[in-house]
Structure 1
Amino acid sequence: MALTDTAIRKIKPTEKSFKITDSAGLYLLIKPNGSKLWYMKYRVDGKEKKLAFGPYPDVSLFKARQLRDAARARVREGADPAADKKIAQQKKKNGHTFRQIAMNWHADHRRWSEHYAMTIRRRLEMYVFPDIGDKFIDQIVTEDLLFTLRKVESKGFLEITARLKNYVTEIMRYAVKKQLIKSNPALDLDGEFTPPETQHYPALPLLEKLPELLSRTDSYSGRRLTRYALKLSLLFFVRSSELRFARWSEIDWQQKLWIIPEEREQVENVRFSHRGTKMKTQHIVPLSEQAITVLKQIEALSGHLAFIFPGEYDQDKCMSDNTINKALRVMGYDTKQEICGHGFRAMACSALSESGLWSKDAIEKQMSHQERNSVRAAYIHKAEYLEERIAMMQWWADYLDANIDRYISPYQYAVPLKNVS
């Protein structure tokens, strides 16, 4: 007679172990200490074997029957479920689960900053490991990854979904290289998810308004350090955090370079002050003569401090992330529609390209953009184009000066140099 949960709970142990049969080879072994263990009896090549499923009630009656049915199916296929289990246990011991391979991949990226590495690990633990962390890497198929990432996408986390897709693709690529799997199931995820909206930062729609911007910057009546920050934002066109967290120790006066590290020393109680370059590689900003003049003016105010741009109310901290945009609003600009601090980058990139003087690679290198073509990216990474960038940054500063009184296009301003060359 088939077992029931009620009947199992009523079974009392005796001085000797005994069996209670369910059906189709499934039985419960009752030990003198009261433990109840599931087993299945089966035959392979005429030889009787048994397969353990675990203790009751950890393994319920329903689950035990499911395991039995799965094992019987393997027997019908000519396999030995006990051998399957042994192989699976060996795989688990060797760390061939998705979680273990993911952590090995994670550990191999020693160049990641501590914060970046922690972010990736936290996302994997929160969104991926609960579904597939304990699955064996060679048993994961595209549908498993789709199911996992669809749950994140359904919550509206489009940016996180896109990043998770990149992570699992790289983890599976790592597994292929380690010869743990033959092909990468994540490659079929392309086009399956709603892409996150690309954030476009407002820049002046026409460079013709550059004289107005320069005039308003010079006339800014707020804090002097804020006015200097506006000027350097234009001259350097770096990212906000790269400028806000800048330290005097990064300025090489002799070589006339600002060297932004991939990661900075964390300052206590200053959130995100460890941030260096977004691309996680050192970035060099050549200092034009105009930039050096502004830096010398700033040095007179904050040269004795760590941050180039200390906070207004606490000099041990840096200026707020909203300082530049707030100043632009005071100057009469709509930072959502007309111009924002990040928009200076678009202006500079546009002008440098329009001039026709500089190579695309030098511009991209100075913009610290990430090249999507991996072969080309490796080439650009090795090639610094520093001499060209030094000339380019001085040209950009001179071009800004040329637009103080009236507008001149980048192309027109570049003509004399083209004629000389």
Structure 2
Amino acid sequence: MPLTDAACRNATCPPERKQARYADSGGLYLEVSASGSRRWFWKFRIEGVEKKFALGAYPGVGLAAARKARDVAKAQKAAGINPIQARQVVKLKSAVNTGDTFRETALEWYEKHRARWSSHYAIREKRNLEKDLFPHFAVRRIGEIEPIELLAALRRVEERGALDVAGRVLMTSRAVWRYAVATARAPRDITADLKGALTPHKTRHFAAITEPAKLGELIRIIRAYQGGHIVRTALQLAPMLFQRPNELRGAAWAEFDLDNALWTVPAARMKRRIEGKENGDPHLVPLSTQAVELLRKLYPLTGYSTLVFPGERSHDRPISDNTLRAALLTLGYGPDVQTVHGFRATARTLLAEVLEVDPLVIEAQLAHAVKDANGRAYNRTQYLKQRTLMMQRWADYLDELCRHELTTTRKSASGQIEPATGGGMASVVRDFLKAREGERVAQGSGHGVPLPIEKQEVPQPIEKPEGRESMAQLFAQAVAELRSK
């Protein structure tokens, strides 16, 4: 017989029992404890196991409200939802969430992950959120945002020509939505619906010369560079050591053991995640006799500084990446021909194809994350002996390319050794640079002789009559004309 309001008010627990149940209908009942407290429960079964679902305490929840709550729970069960688990999800969500807007969710995700990111990566992720996502979705509940809305935001990024950025913003969005799903803010990851929806972006690799004759030509031109001893040494070491530009530019004298021909790059300066920078091993770079000689010659000029390549305006900061790029450009090698970073690809290609060095040895020296057959990462001393021999062979090979202006060899696609011819441009370049140096000396610039250490500045441009091209422009034109012949 169903309960009445009066029966609920008068319900008690017999003294000899711990609790008593007063049934209503449809599995609903009022449970009265020995202490006098009264609570509503709904009894149901899942997979043959009896469960009870609490609906609240009487009289706060009256008979009519209890019956309504029972009906809601019955509807959930009929839909295949366990009402007990559904309630737990709501409680967990309220416990872990400070809010379910896109901004709140994204910033929470960002704060939980940024500690293991490099500062550069963290800045990029924050920029993706603030520039391309927050303006559209900041105050929207993340669970209510539709795929077409996210696509529209990404299309705006594409419309400004930043196809690569659009792809990165999508990756950031994917990470945020996965976090939202994990924290019960969103029912699913909507970014999965956008697969193939963005315009494909063709990755631009760092330009790199991989033809021996052309590389020899470039090495000769670099060695004739008159723009300053510090920059020239950096340019000479870039292809010889083939480390990342930031690692080379930021090198400190304390990292070098010239007597043992070894450069130890601290983990903190390597391209790694925060954990790798803080707890990882340093990277070892064996030095060839040629590299040691270059560094010994440079030391009297920059040994006063902690840095091997101090900047012109501040000796506490290294030369900029733009300084090396500008030097290559002055020599006639723009970013579409050869970049400083591209020397890594140059070395990787020719070491494998011409000198036939084991790719694993090359990758280890490039500081790439390689693993052995068992999936274990190689340690810092892996292949050190082979790497030492390789670095000397590579430096010797560069010397040989530099000496042979007209003929060298390279392994063809069929595996045959065939001649590869190069132009005799080095002598022309040397004559040009000597002429430019003579003009500077004649004008009293003082750059024809070594300058005191405190005056090691980038030479100022030579003043030219109105309407005439600069020497650098003439040089670049001369190089281009020689290459086209």
- TM-score w.r.t. structure 2 length? 0.55
Deviation, 1:251, is 2.8
Larger Rg over CA atoms: 2
CA offset digits 1:232-253 (Å, max 9, x no partner): 1111122322222222233355
Matched residue SS, 1:259: strand
CA offset digits 1:316-367 (Å, max 9, x no partner): 3322323333333444x24245433333223212101203633333323433
- Residue 155 of structure 1 is matched in structure 2 by 160
The 8 Å contact of residues 369 and 377 in structure 2, kept in 1 or not, is answered as no
Task: Describe the shift of the 1:256–1:197 C-alpha distance in structure 2 as closer, same or farther (beyond 3 A).
Answer: same
Deviation, 1:211, is 2.9
Q: Structure 2: which amino acid aligns with 1:191? A: G
Cα distance in structure 2, aligned partners of 1:257 and 1:164: 41
Deviation, 1:283, is 4.2
Q: Structure 1: which amino acid aligns with 2:295? A: L
CA offset digits 1:265-321 (Å, max 9, x no partner): xxxxxxxxxxx5377755443322222221222222112212211123442332232
Task: Describe the shift of the 1:262–1:145 C-alpha distance in structure 2 as closer, same or farther (beyond 3 A).
Answer: farther
The 8 Å contact of residues 132 and 144 in structure 1, kept in 2 or not, is answered as no
Cα distance in structure 2, aligned partners of 1:261 and 1:133: 40
Cα distance in structure 1, aligned partners of 2:373 and 2:169: 25
2:386 pairs, out of 388, 404, 409, with 388
The 8 Å contact of residues 215 and 401 in structure 2, kept in 1 or not, is answered as yes
- Residue 113 of structure 1 is matched in structure 2 by 118
Task: Describe the shift of the 1:195–1:292 C-alpha distance in structure 2 as closer, same or farther (beyond 3 A).
Answer: farther
Matched residue SS, 1:222: coil
- Residue 14 of structure 1 is matched in structure 2 by none
Cα distance in structure 2, aligned partners of 1:223 and 1:305: 17
Cα distance in structure 1, aligned partners of 2:295 and 2:401: 21
Cα distance in structure 2, aligned partners of 1:93 and 1:375: 44
Cα distance in structure 1, aligned partners of 2:134 and 2:262: 44
Quick check: 1:128 aligned with 2:133?
Answer: yes
- Residue 464 of structure 2 is matched in structure 1 by none
Cα distance in structure 1, aligned partners of 2:153 and 2:123: 21
Task: Describe the shift of the 1:328–1:149 C-alpha distance in structure 2 as closer, same or farther (beyond 3 A).
Answer: closer
The 8 Å contact of residues 93 and 184 in structure 2, kept in 1 or not, is answered as no
Task: Describe the shift of the 1:148–1:326 C-alpha distance in structure 2 as closer, same or farther (beyond 3 A).
Answer: closer
Quick check: 1:295 aligned with 2:300?
Answer: no
Matched residue SS, 1:108: helix
Matches within 5 A, 1:217-366: 217-253=222-258, 256-261=261-266, 263-264=268-269, 276-277=270-271, 281=276, 283-331=283-331, 333-355=332-354, 357-366=356-365
The 8 Å contact of residues 236 and 285 in structure 1, kept in 2 or not, is answered as yes
Deviation, 1:131, is 3.3
Deviation, 1:220, is 2.1
Q: Structure 2: which amino acid aligns with 1:199? A: R
Q: Structure 1: which amino acid aligns with 2:134? A: F
- Residue 94 of structure 1 is matched in structure 2 by 96
CA offset digits 1:85-127 (Å, max 9, x no partner): xx98984663263433652354234232334323322331332
The 8 Å contact of residues 248 and 307 in structure 1, kept in 2 or not, is answered as yes
The 8 Å contact of residues 279 and 368 in structure 1, kept in 2 or not, is answered as no
Cα distance in structure 1, aligned partners of 2:182 and 2:260: 43
Matched residue SS, 1:241: helix
The 8 Å contact of residues 177 and 189 in structure 2, kept in 1 or not, is answered as yes
- Residue 206 of structure 1 is matched in structure 2 by 211
Cα distance in structure 1, aligned partners of 2:179 and 2:262: 38
Cα distance in structure 2, aligned partners of 1:340 and 1:101: 37
CA offset digits 1:69-91 (Å, max 9, x no partner): xxxxxxxx9xxxxxx9xx98984
Task: Describe the shift of the 1:337–1:136 C-alpha distance in structure 2 as closer, same or farther (beyond 3 A).
Answer: closer
Of the structure 1 ranges 320-329 and 289-298, higher mean CA displacement relative to structure 2 is found in 320-329
Matched residue SS, 2:321: coil
Cα distance in structure 1, aligned partners of 2:134 and 2:374: 31
Q: Structure 1: which amino acid aligns with 2:346? A: M
CA offset digits 1:136-171 (Å, max 9, x no partner): 555555444323323322333323222122222233
CA offset digits 1:356-381 (Å, max 9, x no partner): 6333333234334578xx99997456
- Residue 192 of structure 2 is matched in structure 1 by 187
Number of residue pairs the alignment of both structures matches: 325
Q: Structure 2: which amino acid aligns with 1:100? A: T
Unaligned runs of 5+ in 2: 1-63, 69-78, 80-85, 277-281, 417-485
Task: Describe the shift of the 1:155–1:376 C-alpha distance in structure 2 as closer, same or farther (beyond 3 A).
Answer: farther
Q: Structure 1: which amino acid aligns with 2:215? A: L
Matched residue SS, 1:235: helix
Cα distance in structure 2, aligned partners of 1:352 and 1:127: 43
Task: Describe the shift of the 1:138–1:287 C-alpha distance in structure 2 as closer, same or farther (beyond 3 A).
Answer: farther
The 8 Å contact of residues 175 and 181 in structure 1, kept in 2 or not, is answered as yes
Of the structure 1 ranges 355-364 and 131-140, higher mean CA displacement relative to structure 2 is found in 131-140
What is the percentage of aligned positions where both structures have the same residue? Answer: 33
The 8 Å contact of residues 142 and 186 in structure 2, kept in 1 or not, is answered as yes
Task: Describe the shift of the 1:199–1:138 C-alpha distance in structure 2 as closer, same or farther (beyond 3 A).
Answer: same
- TM-score w.r.t. structure 1 length? 0.63
CA offset digits 1:25-56 (Å, max 9, x no partner): xxxxxxxxxxxxxxxxxx99997xxxxxxxxx
Task: Describe the shift of the 1:375–1:129 C-alpha distance in structure 2 as closer, same or farther (beyond 3 A).
Answer: farther
The 8 Å contact of residues 256 and 286 in structure 1, kept in 2 or not, is answered as yes
Matched residue SS, 1:110: helix
The 8 Å contact of residues 128 and 148 in structure 1, kept in 2 or not, is answered as yes
- Residue 422 of structure 2 is matched in structure 1 by none
Task: Describe the shift of the 1:177–1:385 C-alpha distance in structure 2 as closer, same or farther (beyond 3 A).
Answer: farther
